[in-house]
Amino acid sequence: MGLEHRNRLLRAVEADILAQFSARLLPVELRKGAPILNLGDPVDWVYFPDGALIAIMSETPAGESVASALVGFDGALGVFEACGSRTSFQRAVVHVAGRVWRMRASAYRELYDASPNLRTAVHKHIELILAESRQFVACNAIHPVEGRLSRSLLDGLDKSDPDTTLPLTQEALAQMLGVQRTTVAVCVSALQKQGLLRNGRGAIEVLDRSGLEKAACACRKALQFIRQEIYSSHSESCDA
């Protein structure tokens, strides 16, 4: 298989440099629900989603969990840890099945050193993840679940295949939002009655995207602005 891909970070790499690493960049199809990393795992691989949607789960000592980030076309899993502690302090699970490109962490470090464009793209990704995490803290504490659910569904569509259907169960959505499944069921029912979505068997189909945008909490527009500002920046990144 060639190196046709849609991942934002891989697309940033200079073509001649990426070609040198083509044999070490492997396509893998991930199934829904598959664990990618667990707490304390060594980060031996870096994953660049190309259709799959990966949820990074933050957990309490009691075992409660909430999705602190979604990684899709716009980013990668393991890019910070592979150059840092090389240990995972979070759990990562596939929420939407699909393809990823994976590379050994050692090869990724070589690619990172060789590509100025990749370093810039990774710095932007890290900045965005931090900004999103800070925004989610306020969002989870202040905004109603229905608005947060609408935002999360739109974010999921943005970061995975450009379709109208997300193969997510209400249980998965509850984990993403840090609420009970019954709470998600009530919110999904309310949005369905408004004609914004359809709740199928293990999937949510968005029927009215513009209407769902209006139903989303204010963090949706705030995050879109932040992403645009970060992605459009032409400043050179600092050397690692």
Q: In the predicted model, what is the mean pLDDT of the chain?
A: 90
Task: Determine the Cα–Cα distance for residues 137 and 130; give it in Å rounded to an integer.
Answer: 11
Does residue 104 sit in the same domain as residue 125? Answer: yes
| Range 125-133 contact pairs with CB under 8 angstroms and sequence separation of 24 or more | 125/8, 125/9, 125/74, 125/75, 125/76, 125/79, 126/79, 126/80, 127/230, 128/74, 128/75, 128/226, 128/227, 128/230, 129/69, 129/75, 131/223, 131/226, 131/230, 132/69, 132/223, 132/226, 133/68, 133/69
Nearest to 118 by CA among 225, 50, 224, 16: 16
Rounded CA gap, 209 and 213, in Å?
6
For residue 204, the enclosing domain spans: 144-217
Q: Is 87 a member of any domain?
A: yes
In a domain, 224, yes or no: no
User: What pLDDT, on the 0 to 100 scale, is given for residue 165?
Assistant: 85
Same domain, 100 and 55: yes
Mean pLDDT for 5-20 is 93
Mean pLDDT across 110-120: 96
122 shares a domain with 150:
no
Residue 215's pLDDT is: 97
The answer to whether position 233 is within a domain reads no
Residues 65, 118 within the same domain: yes
Tell which of 137, 164, 194 closes a domain: 137
Q: Are residues 133 and 176 in the same domain?
A: no
pLDDT over threshold 50, residue 1: no
Say what the pLDDT of residue 202 is.
83
Give the domain-ending residue among 137, 163, 189: 137
Is residue 22 domain-shared with residue 65, that is, in the same domain? Answer: yes
Range 127-150 average pLDDT: 90
Q: Sorting pLDDT into bands at 50, 70 and 90, what band is 186?
A: very high
CATH number, domain of 154, equals 1.10.10.10
CATH code for the domain in which residue 71 is found: 2.60.120.10
pLDDT classification of 143: cutoffs 50, 70, 90: very high
Tokens encoding 123 = 């710095």
The total number of structural domains in the chain stands at: 2
